[in-house]
Chain A
Amino acid sequence: MRKLLWGLPLLAALALILLLGRGLELDPREVDSPLVGKPAPDFASVRLDSGAATTLEALRGEVTLLNVWASWCVACMQEHPLLNDLSRSGQVRIVGLNYKDAQADATRWLARHGDPYAWSVVDRDGRIGIDYGVYGVPETFVLDRAGVIRAKRIGPITPDYLSQQLLPLVAELQAEPTRP
């Protein structure tokens, strides 16, 4: 029994190593979301800019990037210039999901860093985030015209990811005929 006690730190360390090893297999940026291929979960909330009510319905009819962001999120600053450029290019509509944020902070953040979003959906307490399985901010969901999630990116969008995966997928989806 006493012997076991001396080995306790070793056991704890082994558990930690196993966890870290498992972590290596999972790429935090490319976890397959069980939601891919399924309709995006519905939500009822308000818009950050106007405070008007908004639901998932507003996202339908156009290929859309749903980008989860927050003013407290340091990594969001990394991808933000890319989103601004993308929005300016008009290639695809970007809608924000403002996650666990205070309204004043969020509005200020957009004024300061530029607002690439057609509009932002307020998710003050993170409920919508739970439905969408938000893992860390930023995250980006690609929704097709029918409102089905077609891809998900965890972590900041990089120029490589944008040009090699995201934009081709968007073009492909935009070329799809509208489903009845």
Chain B
Amino acid sequence: MGGFGLGAAGHLALAFAFVLAAVQALAGGLGLWRRNAALVALASQAAVASFVVIACAFALLTVAFVQHDFSVLYVANHSNLGLPLAYRIAAVWGGHEGSLLLWALMLAGWNLAVAATLRSRALDVSAGVLATMGAVGFGFLWFMLGTSNPFERHFPAPADGRDLNPLLQDPGLIFHPPMLYMGYVGFSVAFAFAVTALLQGRLDAAWVRWVRPWTNAAWVFLTLGIALGSWWAYNELGWGGWWFWDPVENASFMPWLVGTALIHSLAVTEKRGQLAHWSLLLAIAAFSLSLLGTFLVRSGVLVSVHAFASDPARGVFILAFFAATVGISLTLFAARAHRIQLAAEPLRLASKEGLLLLNNLLLTVAAASVLLGTLYPLLVDSLGLPKPSVGPPWFNATFVPLTVPLLVLCALGFFVPWRRWQAAPLKRHLPGLLVAAALLAGLLSFISRGGHGPLALFALACGALTLLAALWSLVRRIRLRQGLPRGWLGMTIAHAGLGVFALGVGLVSTADIERDIALAPGESVTLAGFEWRLLELDVVDGPNYRADRGTLQVRREGELLATLYPEKRLYHSQPNNPMTESAVDVGILRDLYVSLGEPLGAQRWSLRVYYKPFIRWVWGGSVLMALGGLLALTDRRYYSRRRVPLAAAAAPARAG
């Protein structure tokens, strides 16, 4: 009977959080209108309280999973008695309702963090930000209570649950969604600041310095979340692929692209006072696209592998939420943005800010092309056109031509100063770097055994150029003892990461080798210079599954490199749906990847073996980018005690 109390308590907590969010939004809004410090303080306290309450709800659902409380419908649908503890905890966000609860918890966390740091801010900014964050939380909790209550109960409770989707039973699941959601939801902070600036009709240096670290933080989480998702797909789907252009992946990629553009346009706004309106628009777009992603995943409008629970009622609700968020903020933009006037010089193209403007154009076009490709089936359907399908080839064809110029821009950016073009540093450093980049690209191509054509080599050289430009700038700055402020160091590391990432993508997508083979124990095959030998096949039992397991040894020139154990698992809860558990030998220069196919009779199995050169660089580069973003947001200038007067909406400081 404890179950009844537990589910009811969780439901009550969410209802309470809903009220608190309303209090926060109203008190913040009224506080802004009346300039009333007491009301703003109330909004701030509501933010703290709502975090506590939602954390309690989350803890309650976790306890329900740990204790196998199948009277909670969501637990019964996503767990069973055989599920190991770690996955029972991760299962809290393994389905629709629970992942919304996680979303709400993250939002409450960002809300709390903002509320805590707003104390030192001017009253009207605090009020505007708290009101906006409160309103977002209110809308979200309304959605959750209205359509997707994770604490719904049913009696009598079943004796056992249905089990968590076996695809999701992987360490990747434990971290991927929380990271991703932290990123999605994190953009709500930049959004709230943008709305506040529009409400006030005022934007200044202090504003930019406030928004930048928050934007960076959200972006870091999103970067890691996407990288983890890619890594998970690689390990779990048994296809050796790391990106599928699936609508849900696209949904996370669009805010990432726009968020990246925002980081760069904010840099221009901070240093030069330019692109301020554009930054506001991007801040609104980044959060709106996060919501759009949620809509696409949850509404079932698009067919996707991720669509675990699509329900039209939910779709209508999220669409209304999305429409309200976007509609209100962009109406505000239309009505108020022209009031924000910065005493900035016109932007000159031949300068660092000019390169950053181009960067923004490319990133925005890239995001738009992903949006178009994702919504294309919907678009043609609505217009009643014939229905072609847009697959990975379309995305690759539009995406690669956009990213290669970005790499070049990024390399140039290290040598072009703010305000004006200077040919001297380019002339001095660029030729040597170009040669080095060409050599590095050639060397990596050789190591990967790719046999690349001129176009592929050119793209690789652009990636190498970015990496080398970043490293060279770092070395030069250390040699000249110019100091390494964290903002600069983080920026450089992130761009080195971009170079590593681009090289990894270029190499693995052009030089990987895959082959399907049939082997019996004792037989071997040679692929990419490696000898793969199947030693034995046996049956092993896991906690909630039974698996066929192969043992393979991979050798090169007789030397044993790896012993791999790929599995084909049958989870007891889903006997008709075998899951492939691939086995991977990880290396900096290459992965050796094998997954078990089908039994072919007489001890023979079909196997799929892959040679994946430089695949680790894809994720390594992503981690470097995130690391750089993290470092940059700890830069001292964001936390200096020196208060920039808010009332003086003058041109931002021209530091740096």
**In the complex the two chains form, is A28's CB within 8 Å of B598's CB?**
no
Interface string of B112-144 (1 = CB under 8 A from A): 000000000000000000000000000000000
The interface centre, meaning the residue of A21, A23, A27, A108 with most chain B CB atoms within 10 A of its CB, is A23
Residues of A within 8 A of B300 (CB): 27-28
**In the complex the two chains form, is B598's CB within 8 Å of A112's CB?**
yes
Which single member of B244, B319, B377 contacts A28 (CB below 8 Å)?
B377
In this assembly, does A171 line the interface, its C-beta being within 8 Å of a C-beta of chain B? no
Q: How far in angstroms is the closest Cβ of chain B from A125?
A: 12
Task: Look across to chain A and name the residue whose beta carbon is closest to the beta carbon of B574.
Answer: A81
Question: A106 vs B24: C-alpha distance in the bound complex, in angstroms?
Answer: 57
Task: Look across to chain A and name the residue whose beta carbon is closest to the beta carbon of B607.
Answer: A112
Which single member of A19, A21, A112, A130 contacts B516 (CB below 8 Å)?
A112
In this assembly, does B26 line the interface, its C-beta being within 8 Å of a C-beta of chain A? no
Question: A82 vs B576: C-alpha distance in the bound complex, in angstroms?
Answer: 8
Question: A3 vs B330: C-alpha distance in the bound complex, in angstroms?
Answer: 13
Task: Look across to chain B and name the residue whose beta carbon is closest to the beta carbon of A104.
Answer: B516
With A74-B244, A112-B598, A135-B381 already in contact, the answer to whether A17 and B319 are too (CB < 8 A) is: yes
In this assembly, does A114 line the interface, its C-beta being within 8 Å of a C-beta of chain B? yes
Residues of B within 8 A of A130 (CB): 386, 388
Question: A126 vs B299: C-alpha distance in the bound complex, in angstroms?
Answer: 29
Q: How far in angstroms is the closest Cβ of chain B from A169?
A: 21
Q: Which one of A7-15, A40-48, A57-65, A141-149 contacts B?
A: A7-15
Question: A7 vs B334: C-alpha distance in the bound complex, in angstroms?
Answer: 4
In this assembly, does A20 line the interface, its C-beta being within 8 Å of a C-beta of chain B? yes
Of residues 284 through 315 on chain B, the ones whose CB sits less than 8 Å from some CB of chain A are: 284, 288, 292, 295, 299-305, 312, 315
Residues of A within 8 A of B392 (CB): 72
Residues of A within 8 A of B375 (CB): 19
Q: How far in angstroms is the closest Cβ of chain B from A20?
A: 6
Residues of B within 8 A of A9 (CB): 281, 284, 330, 333-334
Question: A70 vs B328: C-alpha distance in the bound complex, in angstroms?
Answer: 43
Residues of A within 8 A of B388 (CB): 126, 130
Residues of B within 8 A of A21 (CB): 319
Residues of A within 8 A of B333 (CB): 6, 9-10
Question: A154 vs B533: C-alpha distance in the bound complex, in angstroms?
Answer: 42
In this assembly, does A49 line the interface, its C-beta being within 8 Å of a C-beta of chain B? no
Task: Look across to chain A and name the residue whose beta carbon is closest to the beta carbon of B575.
Answer: A81
Residues of A within 8 A of B288 (CB): 13
Residues of A within 8 A of B577 (CB): 81
Q: How far in angstroms is the closest Cβ of chain B from A180?
A: 34
Interface string of B307-340 (1 = CB under 8 A from A): 0000010011001001100110011011101100
Question: A137 vs B391: C-alpha distance in the bound complex, in angstroms?
Answer: 10
Task: Look across to chain A and name the residue whose beta carbon is closest to the beta carbon of B334.
Answer: A7
**In the complex the two chains form, is B377's CB within 8 Å of A136's CB?**
yes
Of residues 366 through 395 on chain B, the ones whose CB sits less than 8 Å from some CB of chain A are: 375, 377-379, 381-382, 386-389, 391-392
In this assembly, does B246 line the interface, its C-beta being within 8 Å of a C-beta of chain A? yes
Residues of B within 8 A of A20 (CB): 292, 295, 301, 319, 322, 378
**In the complex the two chains form, is B312's CB within 8 Å of A111's CB?**
no
In this assembly, does B68 line the interface, its C-beta being within 8 Å of a C-beta of chain A? no
**In the complex the two chains form, is B323's CB within 8 Å of A17's CB?**
yes
Residues of B within 8 A of A27 (CB): 300, 312
In this assembly, does B608 line the interface, its C-beta being within 8 Å of a C-beta of chain A? yes
Task: Look across to chain B and name the residue whose beta carbon is closest to the beta carbon of A85.
Answer: B576
**In the complex the two chains form, is B330's CB within 8 Å of A10's CB?**
yes
With A81-B576, A136-B389 already in contact, the answer to whether A24 and B301 are too (CB < 8 A) is: yes
Question: A137 vs B378: C-alpha distance in the bound complex, in angstroms?
Answer: 14
Question: A75 vs B598: C-alpha distance in the bound complex, in angstroms?
Answer: 19
In this assembly, does A133 line the interface, its C-beta being within 8 Å of a C-beta of chain B? yes
Task: Look across to chain A and name the residue whose beta carbon is closest to the beta carbon of B323.
Answer: A17
**In the complex the two chains form, is B386's CB within 8 Å of A23's CB?**
no
In this assembly, does A167 line the interface, its C-beta being within 8 Å of a C-beta of chain B? no
Residues of A within 8 A of B36 (CB): none
In this assembly, does B172 line the interface, its C-beta being within 8 Å of a C-beta of chain A? no
Task: Look across to chain B and name the residue whose beta carbon is closest to the beta carbon of A82.
Answer: B576
By secondary structure, the A interface counts as helix
Q: How far in angstroms is the closest Cβ of chain B from A106?
A: 12
Of residues 71 through 123 on chain A, the ones whose CB sits less than 8 Å from some CB of chain B are: 72, 74-75, 78, 81-82, 85, 100, 108, 111-114
**In the complex the two chains form, is A23's CB within 8 Å of B303's CB?**
no
**In the complex the two chains form, is B381's CB within 8 Å of A28's CB?**
yes
With A20-B295, A74-B246 already in contact, the answer to whether A112 and B389 are too (CB < 8 A) is: no
The interface centre, meaning the residue of B375, B381, B392 with most chain A CB atoms within 10 A of its CB, is B381
Q: How far in angstroms is the closest Cβ of chain B from A123?
A: 12
The interface centre, meaning the residue of B284, B337, B338, B388 with most chain A CB atoms within 10 A of its CB, is B388
Residues of A within 8 A of B338 (CB): 2-3, 6
Residues of A within 8 A of B387 (CB): 133-136
Residues of A within 8 A of B322 (CB): 17, 20
With A13-B288, A19-B375, A24-B315 already in contact, the answer to whether A135 and B301 are too (CB < 8 A) is: no
Residues of A within 8 A of B305 (CB): 74-75, 78
With A6-B337, A19-B375, A20-B301 already in contact, the answer to whether A112 and B597 are too (CB < 8 A) is: yes
Q: How far in angstroms is the closest Cβ of chain B from A103?
A: 13
In this assembly, does A53 line the interface, its C-beta being within 8 Å of a C-beta of chain B? no
Residues of A within 8 A of B77 (CB): none
Interface string of B256-287 (1 = CB under 8 A from A): 00000000000000000000000001001000
Task: Look across to chain A and name the residue whose beta carbon is closest to the beta carbon of B381.
Answer: A26
Q: How far in angstroms is the closest Cβ of chain B from A114?
A: 6
Which single member of B299, B303, B316, B378 contacts A75 (CB below 8 Å)?
B303
Question: A75 vs B374: C-alpha distance in the bound complex, in angstroms?
Answer: 15
In this assembly, does B510 line the interface, its C-beta being within 8 Å of a C-beta of chain A? no
Q: How far in angstroms is the closest Cβ of chain B from A64?
A: 22
In this assembly, does A56 line the interface, its C-beta being within 8 Å of a C-beta of chain B? no
**In the complex the two chains form, is B316's CB within 8 Å of A24's CB?**
yes
Residues of A within 8 A of B330 (CB): 9-10, 13
In this assembly, does A29 line the interface, its C-beta being within 8 Å of a C-beta of chain B? yes
In this assembly, does B606 line the interface, its C-beta being within 8 Å of a C-beta of chain A? yes
Residues of A within 8 A of B326 (CB): 13, 17
Residues of A within 8 A of B598 (CB): 111-114
Residues of B within 8 A of A137 (CB): 389
Question: A154 vs B377: C-alpha distance in the bound complex, in angstroms?
Answer: 12
**In the complex the two chains form, is B302's CB within 8 Å of A28's CB?**
yes
24 A-B residue pairs with Cβ-Cβ distance under 8 Å, sorted by A, are A9-B284, A13-B288, A13-B327, A16-B292, A19-B379, A19-B382, A20-B378, A22-B378, A23-B301, A23-B382, A24-B315, A27-B300, A31-B381, A72-B391, A74-B237, A75-B305, A100-B389, A111-B606, A112-B598, A113-B598, A135-B377, A136-B387, A154-B303, A156-B303
- Residue positions of A touching B, CB distance < 8 A: 2-3, 6-7, 9-10, 13-14, 16-17, 19-24, 26-29, 31, 72, 74-75, 78, 81-82, 85, 100, 108, 111-114, 126, 130, 133-137, 154-156
Q: Which 8 A-B pairs have the closest CB atoms?
A: A7-B334, A10-B330, A135-B387, A112-B597, A23-B301, A23-B378, A155-B303, A22-B382
- Contacts A26-B378, A78-B305, A133-B387 known; 18 new A-B pairs at CB < 8 A: A2-B338, A3-B338, A7-B334, A9-B284, A17-B326, A19-B379, A23-B301, A28-B303, A28-B381, A75-B303, A81-B576, A81-B577, A82-B576, A111-B598, A111-B606, A112-B516, A135-B381, A155-B303
